[in-house]
Structure 1
Amino acid sequence: MTGAGFPARPLYLVADLGGTTLRAGWARAGDLAVSGVRRVAVDGIARFPGLPAGELQARVVDQLVRLLRECSRSAPCTPSALAVAFAGPVGRTGTVVDAPTVWGPRGPELPLARLLGREFGVPAVVLNDVTAAGWRYAAPEGGEDDYFCMVTVSSGVGNKVFRNGEVLLPEDGRGGEIGHLKVDFAADAPWCDCGERGHLGAVASGRGALRAAGVLARRFPGVFARSALSAASGGDPGRLSAEQVAAGIRSQDAFTVRAVAPGVRYLARTLATLHIALGVDRFVVMGGFARAAGPPYLRLLGEEMAKAGDFLLPPAGAAGLLRPGAPDDDDGLIGCLRLLERTHSSRGSSPRPAVPVTGTS
């Protein structure tokens, strides 16, 4: 009991493990924000591209446990439960099926929820990161107008559709796989982290945009030399970063926009297909790359959606459908918190997700 005889609110540990950044913190039920947030670069394939998947998996799991331990020690009391948003396919029981952007293709399956539950001695939920983010934006009690699609553009590309406060996934959680739709059928199409060529994630993600900018810079060195990207990288395409490419989009640098245009076009056509097929009337665009690229990125995406010939577009065009995610980096963390609040009683019973929490990105 606390205060004037009121029971203490449960405290939760939450983490968001993406292809580039690992975030973790703690929060009490009902909090509007997550406290004590720590962010570190993921010890995965982006940092150690030459290591085998099994070794990368062990590194990432150790890193996750260490960071959650640090957050637990900084919290004011013992956590009641924990949840982790994960950038990859996750089975209903919290088993990570694959993680192309984290430890590459063909990694062994990982019963992460069971491992974390044993490690911390509390109920643990593991779910896909885009699904987790969607719980931040879904209305607590649903509603007829609560129909939207989460779209992430970060290390990879993924989506989830929410309606009336629930994520639209079947029992086995299949869905939200747009990042692994083949869109480029050229023999030399870029490789996706999953090991296949020409997937949407390979051309439209932050990593795909960086790759495209490097290719264009080497093909047209004179044009590159006059660009904002050249100034940012010291004239060396090999020193470019995804952050610099995002900044180039934000400043509407002509070379950068030209470089990323094919990937934006493929993504726009895919979203237009979802809109005309499902009638979803709101796309919340999140992810580190999309957030860093800012409003000019959404404008480019909307312009390309309009060109796709979607006759269901509202009078305002595709711009009326596209909404930016929150300006912070906490979608997965706050989404995990909201899910735990939905599924974990004040008595400390085990979280019981009412919907499948699987999916991919």
Structure 2
Amino acid sequence: MKYCFGVDIGGTGIKVGLFNSDGVMLDKWVIATKRTEDGKDVLRDAAAFIESKLEEKAISKEEVIGIGVGIPGPVKDNGEVLELPNLGIGHFNIEEEMSKMTGLKVKAGNDANVAALGEQWMGSGKGFDSMVMVTLGTGVGGGIIYKGKIVAGSGGAGGEIGHLPVDYNETSSCGCGKKGCLEQYASATGIVRIAKKYMPNLDDISAKTVFDMAKEGDELALKVVDEACRYLGIALAQVAQTLDPEAFVIGGGVSKAGDILIDHIKKHYIPNVMDALKDRVFIIASLGNDAGMYGCARLILSSDV
């Protein structure tokens, strides 16, 4: 039996999954992300944790194919990372660093990209040769899969759907420094921002609250949902006309809204896309928080082929 690890590194937690070579998740854990002046403590902690699990489960390193790692930032094909501001790490090669720490082969990718790969491999995207995953959480992320592989672009920044410009009249800045990005309207925080425009007297509002109210027929909440999905539908029409994917897989916390989200996205996607692309599939992601770990495992398993 051969094994591999999928390690999904986030700003607050590191998710670690142990898989066999058939892609079956055998166990999973979460450890806290430690922020220190030397941001590479995150890698050291992950490496030490893997070492402890190998010992605990009596697995030798000869039985381990390697480690797949997802990180919140662009990763070049050779493992080079320019900067991970959320983790306080500057320019380095994550594959080389992690391999030195563990003595195992390492393959790394952007977290949104590996989540997309996980969904295409073992989730809602299974069976689709090409797909785009859109993650609607605190921000808006994206991952492009073509013929079962990540399309990361020349510098690892491919799939940054959240920073497509959708409103040229916006005066507030996005976190990326531009104005009028999709993330400012279709993320969980963006939906709350729109809601405050329509429902200024409603306290403690969240994206979930908005969708719950919309499902009950609240007119103002329906306007909020429709506006957020109008931006999203138009943006995805442009993505479709560039990439021609078979399917869009919608993940992230906002995706828990379910059918109402898909219906409103399609409402604005269909009239804004060319006829040949109107029949694309829209589906809710199914792997949840495990998608990144599955994608990381796939990353290392496919590199071993």
> What is the TM-score when the length of structure 2 is the normalising length?
0.80
After TM superposition, list the pairs within 5 Å mapping 1:295-334 onto structure 2.
295-314=259-278, 321-334=281-294
Using the TM superposition, give the Cα deviation of residue 14 of structure 1 relative to its aligned residue in structure 2, in angstroms: 1.6
Find out whether 1:127 has 2:109 as its counterpart. yes
Secondary structure of the 2:25 match is coil
Q: 1:151 aligns with which of 129, 134, 156?
A: 134
How far apart in 2 are the matches of 1:248 and 1:37?
35
Q: CA deviation at 1:289?
A: 2.6
Residue of structure 2 in register with 1:282 after alignment: 247
Mapped to 1, the partners of 2:31 and 2:243 lie a distance apart of 36
Structure 1 residue 148 displacement after superposition: 1.9
1:207 to 189, 196, 201: 189
Aligned-partner SS, 1:312: helix
Equivalent in 70, 77, 86 of residue 85 of structure 1: 70
Residue 8 of structure 2 corresponds to 16
- Structure 1's 246 and 73: CA in aligned 2 closer, same or farther, altered over 3 A? farther
The structural deviation recorded for 1:296 is 1.6
Aligned partners of 1:256, 1:334: CA distance in 2, in Å? 35
After superposition, the Cα gap between the structure-2 partners of 1:241 and 1:170, relative to the gap in structure 1 and judged at 3 Å, is closer
Gaps of 5+ in 2: none
Cα distance change on mapping 1:208 and 1:343 into 2, 3 Å:
same
Indicate the RMSD between aligned Cα atoms, in angstroms. 3.4
CA–CA distance in 2 between the matches of 1:36 and 1:289? 24
User: Can you list the C-alpha shifts for 1:136-168, whole angstroms capped at 9, x where unaligned?
Assistant: 34469xxx9612222222232233332322334
More strand by share: 2
CA distance in 2, matches of 1:251, 1:99: 41
Q: CA offset at residue 322 of structure 1?
A: 0.5
For residues 230 and 13 of structure 2, what CA distance do their matches in structure 1 show?
Answer: 26
Shift of 1:171: 4.5
Q: 1:37: which partner in 2?
A: 29
User: TM-score by structure 1 length?
Assistant: 0.69
Q: Does 1:272 align with 2:237?
A: yes
Which of 170, 178, 181 is the aligned partner of 1:196?
Answer: 178
Tell me whether 68-77 or 88-97 shows the greater mean CA deviation.
68-77
Moved more, 244-253 or 331-340: 244-253
The CA deviation at 1:71 is 4.9
Percent identical pairs in the alignment equals: 25
For residues 19 and 266 of structure 1, the distance between their equivalents in structure 2, rounded to whole angstroms, comes to: 27
Q: How many Å apart are 1:337 and its aligned residue?
A: 0.9
Cα shift readout 1:63-116 (whole Å, capped 9, x = no counterpart): 46435533542341245321211222112232333446x369xx7334333332
244 and 25 in structure 1: CA distance in 2 versus 1, 3 angstrom threshold = farther
8 Å Cα contact 1:36-1:74 kept in structure 2 = no
* Matching residue of 2:158: 175
